[in-house]
Structure 1
Amino acid sequence: MAPSPAAPATVGYNCTPSHHLPYAEQRQMEPAGAAVTTQTFSPQPPTNTPYTTTPPDSHFRIARGSKRMDRCWYAEGATLGDNAEGDNDVRASNTGKHMFKGVTDSVTDSHTNRSRRHRQYWVHPILQAHDHAGVFNNLYHDLQRYEEKFQAFCRLSVAQFDNLLQIIAVDLIFQDTQMRKAISAEERLLITFRFLATGESYASLHFQFRVGVTTISGIVRCTCVVIWQKLQPRVMPSPTEETWRQVAAGFQTVANFPHCLGAVDGKHVRVQQPPHSGSRYYNYKIFFSVVLMAVADANCKFVAIDVGAYGSTGDSRVLQTSQIGLQILRAGDTLPEAEPLPGSTDPVPFVMISDEAFPLLQNLLRPYPRRELDTRKRIFDFRLSRARRVVECTFGIMSSQWCVLGTTIKLDVRTVDNIIKACCVLHNYARPERTDEIIENQQANLDNVVNWDFQSPSNLGVAIRDHYVDYFMSPEGAVPWQYACVGDE
């Protein structure tokens, strides 16, 4: 009976399998004098080299690529090089031992199998039931009979929905084909409204409406663009001098603040971190966002907006580089000429109001810092903050109606910009024409509504603000309740 072969020796190696050790320790375990150079190999092993996956007398190292993972085993004393033809080759060292190489393409093979996998269904049975099942074919027509339930579902009344459908339907009608029937414009609008009103994922809407996830993604993206293009000229046109005068009249009536062209503020809309963006979208509130910069009137409607600034950018910088700052505050072509305040004789320019995150300019007022405030300055700060709160109310009303703005939007930032713009014009479209909800002698907590960060003001802005201070203390500009609101009877 022939003797059993002796177990192969493991010269110079620890008994622990090398692939269980850290890479630094694997390097220390390599035999002295062995020259090992990592190179790229062809998928096929040398014809005269044994091809194994568990070489007994070898040490291996894992080489990772972008789309595959190869395991390469190097025998003791082996040296790697290139042959004359330029192909990768394995040359044995003086010891005469060969190098064993094994390649594991599990990642690549798995990817190939997935790409070649045949579809089990051309149209999934869940989606085949679209014509007689789902929200649109069952619930939608029942909701139309109940105005309150329809508005809770779509955030618009039945009349507003039908009117909007007539405006944008021509851009949402697609042609039927022999393969499948196109989704109607009415259902496209309903899917988009349900996404904006709830912030639900595409996968959730997929089961509700019996429509594919990819199809819903295209519907939301396309419909939001169409809504902005069609409604913006109607509900948020480019402001003219007449528009600014109407806004100023509203602030004079509602907030007792004359010559006010609107309240300016920014809102951070939470998004998922875009790829390769670093910290550009990371804001001081410790989440990723894009900035909505807006000017609101006394009726809690948007007069002008600018969307898409990085979340890491401050409000002051966003305003200066936005279209609001460039075309309105700096150019001032459409702003009314300076006029005297009611009951006075000195002309004063029309202004916008903001918190202290913004600079003090000729056409932009902000409150005084909290330190060393006398009664005159406290009254001015109270009346400015009382009028400025309408923009915060506008953001709050819009976010409560279109709840997608209160979630983390996990979409491309360009799609996020279109969603924000669609929500803004839909807010103006659905907002009723009334101002009786706004500020009836409400007392403001100045510590909460004012951001007290300091910025150096301009000399002209300081002079205009001082003029407002004097006016609010004069018989022509004072109101009876202002002293009680600041605690000075």
Structure 2
Amino acid sequence: MTSNVEDVILAAAACVILCRRRVKSKRRFWVRPSLRTRGTYSGTTLLKDLAMDDIHPLTGEIKCDGSFKNFLRMTSSDFEYLINQIGHKIGKKDTTFRDAIPVKERLAVTLRFLASGDSYQSLSYLFKFSKQSISNIVPEVCDALIDCLSDKIKVPKYQEEWLQIVDDFNQKWNYPHCCGSMDGKHICLQAPMNSGSDYFNYKGFFSIVLLAIVDANYCFTYVNVGCQGRLSDGGVYANTTFKHLLETSSLNLPPMKVLPGRTSPSPFVFLGDEAFALQPHIMTPFPGTQQKGSQGRIYNYRHSRARRVVENSFGILSAVFRVLRKPMLLEPERAEKIVLGCCYLHNFLRKGQSSSSYCPPGTFDSEDTFTGELIPGTWRVEGQPNGTLLRLKRIPRKPSVLGKEIREEFSMFFTSEEGKVPWQNNY
């Protein structure tokens, strides 16, 4: 009898709790008073004002590095191009309750978020719509950008395309048979919910990993985003489709070829740092400190000189899209879309009408023509804050015997008359 009474009491208490949960507090506002002025001064009006700043009052000439470009990181013509490409994907219909947020403002708030890394609350004060709307708009627009710019990042399918990349590396960086420079970086996140230590990396913060391959012109040819920060370099690389394609000879790389002045054929390779294992198609520097003037020292100089393009690409990426310079207050799935969107926009702006203003002279590292001395690019002068785009953890791995032989062949070529550069002995 007593147990039945207790059951009834517990059931009644549960009903009371459920009823209380169903009662919703009455909303104070349908639209906040601070956001009701969107009709008088909205994001569209702001963009028009910024565009007017770029027009010379006397000549009517439009500048490519004015307020509009500084605000959205691209010229007005490239902005209009993106509107035409993704407008039908991100546009919404007006209803009897309210007017939909215009397509231009949806794209503008996303680009401003990528350019500044401001919080959604801060952007809501600027664009006059709620942070809840912005939190839905940003991932949606990034998805649309990735879809419409899908041809901007692609792994070459034909040998002619690979040979064009190889020729660029040989002409600009004096490294023959090079198909790309590869590296991985940690993208800082807030602690994801219920993730334990999956995203906790060796530096002591939560992150996802961006692994990229770059050509000689600082453009991405392959990107992979989303691996948990706890994974080592081997784990990150093992989770990519690129590794499978490379190991199964599915990349359609050109056949092995003899280097000038040599007798043994050498394969076409990708350049990585010490975080990767030495393999026949992945070259890494000689370990330890090499004596000045030795083959190992000269090879490491030539290797690092060519591999520096990926460091510069990451540098300009975070210098322009400053959302990568601070911890993202997003879940990993949404952070992945943000990073991919930045990478696709990087290639779009490098190859589009904004290329001259996106990467003006002096942006990337350069070298003195006669001495070979490194001249740091402006992205290095600005400095990199702690906690963003950190290297992968370097774990000693057993190198491939064939990889060692191939690296030795490259090192002997770099010290030969056919392969040396005038200033390399200075290093």
Sort the TM-score into its range (normalised by shorter chain).
Answer: 0.7 to 0.9
For residues 245-292 of structure 1, the C-alpha deviation after alignment (integer angstroms, 9 at most, x for no partner) is 222111111111111111110011000111111111111222110000
Deviations 1:86-132 (A, max 9, x none): 63599xxxxxxxxxxxxx99x9699749x522122222222221111
1:128 maps to 36
Shift of 1:463: 0.8
Q: CA deviation at 1:443?
A: 4.6
Deviates more, 1:176-185 or 1:426-435: 426-435
Q: Are 2:134 and 1:203 equivalent residues in the alignment?
A: no
> How many residues end up aligned between the 2 structures?
386
Verify: 1:237 aligned to 2:144, yes or no: no
2:27 aligns to what?
119
Mapped partners of 1:278, 1:346: distance in 2: 51
- 1:294-329 superposed Cα distances (whole Å, 9 cap, x missing partner): 001111111100110010111232112212212235
For residue 171 of structure 1, report the CA deviation from its aligned partner. Answer: 0.7
Distance in 1 (CA, whole Å) between partners of 2:336 and 2:394 is 30
Distance 2:46 2:148 in 1: 28
- What does residue 136 of structure 2 align with? 218
Instruction: Give distance in 1, aligned partners of 2:243 and 2:190.
Output: 28
In 1, the alpha carbon distance for the partners of 2:260 and 2:88 equals 49
What is residue 87 of structure 1 aligned with on the other side? 6
Mapped contact 2:44–2:105 kept (Cα < 8 A): no
Residue 285 of structure 1: which of 196, 203, 215 is its match?
Answer: 203
Is residue 2:143 matched to residue 1:143? no
> Partners in 2 of 1:238 and 1:460 — Cα distance?
25
8 Å CA contact 2:233–2:393 kept in 1: the answer is no
Which of 454, 460, 464 does residue 402 from structure 2 map onto? 460
Verify: 1:427 aligned to 2:346, yes or no.
Answer: yes
Is the CA contact (8 Å cut-off) linking 2:162 and 2:254 kept in structure 1? yes
CA contact (8 A) 1:280 1:312 kept: yes
Residue 4 of structure 2 aligns to a residue whose secondary structure is: coil
What SS does structure 1 have at the residue aligned with 2:403?
A: helix
Question: For the residues of structure 2 that align with 1:211 and 1:423, how far apart are their CA atoms?
Answer: 23
- Give the 3-state SS of the residue equivalent to 2:237 in structure 1: helix
For 2:393 and 2:196, the matched residues in 1 are separated by 28
Structure 1 residue 330 displacement after superposition? 4.4
Instruction: Tell me the secondary structure at the aligned position of residue 303 of structure 1.
Output: strand
> What letter is aligned with 1:467?
E
Higher helix fraction: Structure 1 or Structure 2? 2
Q: Distance in 2 between matches of 1:89 and 1:206?
A: 50
2:383 matched to 1:476? no
Cα distance in 1, alignment partners of residues 393 and 422 from structure 2: 27
2:245 counterpart residue number: 327
Is the radius of gyration larger for structure 1 or structure 2?
Answer: 1
Equivalent residue for 1:369?
Answer: 287
Question: Residue 319 of structure 1 aligns to which amino acid in structure 2?
Answer: Y
Matched with 1:407 is 326
Unaligned runs of 5+ in 1: 1-81, 91-103
Which of 168-177 and 353-362 deviates more?
168-177
| Alignment counterpart, residue 224 of structure 2, candidates 300, 306, 319 | 306
Residues 372 and 344 (structure 1 numbering): CA distance in 2 closer, same or farther, change over 3 Å? closer
Task: Describe the shift of the 1:416–1:256 C-alpha distance in structure 2 as closer, same or farther (beyond 3 A).
Answer: same
Task: Name the CA distance, whole Å, in 1 between partners of 2:105 and 2:154.
Answer: 28
Distance in 2 of aligned mates of 1:111 and 1:133: 41
Instruction: For residue 438 of structure 1, report the CA deviation from its aligned partner.
Output: 5.1
Structure 2 CA distance for aligned equivalents of residues 365 and 358 of structure 1: 9
Q: CA deviation at 1:344?
A: 3.9
Give the corresponding residue for 2:76.
Answer: 158
Q: Secondary structure at the match of 1:144?
A: helix
Alignment partners' CA distance in 2, 1:452 and 1:191: 38
TM-score by length of 2: 0.83
Q: 1:442 aligns with which of 373, 388, 394?
A: 373
Matched, 1:394 2:313: yes
Q: Percent identity?
A: 35
1:382–1:236 distance in 2 versus 1, CA, 3 Å: same
| Kept after mapping to 2: 8 A contact 1:263/1:387 | yes
| Root mean square deviation of aligned Cα | 2.9
Aligned with 1:169 (options 87, 95, 99):
87
Cα-to-partner distance string for 1:223-249 (whole Å, 9 max, x where unaligned): 00010011022x112322333222211
Q: Find the aligned partners of 1:442 and 1:162 in 2 and give their Cα distance.
A: 41
Residue 186 of structure 1 pairs with residue 104 of structure 2:
yes
Q: Which amino acid aligns with 2:420?
A: A
- In structure 2, relative to structure 1, the CA distance for the partners of 1:236 and 1:279 (3 Å cut) is same
Cα 1:89–1:112 shift into 2, 3 Å: closer
Aligned to 2:381: none
1:272 corresponds to which of 185, 190, 196: 190
Distance 2:8 2:100 in 1: 58
* Contact map agreement 2:86 2:148 (CA 8 A) in 1: yes
Gaps of 5+ in 2: 55-62, 377-390
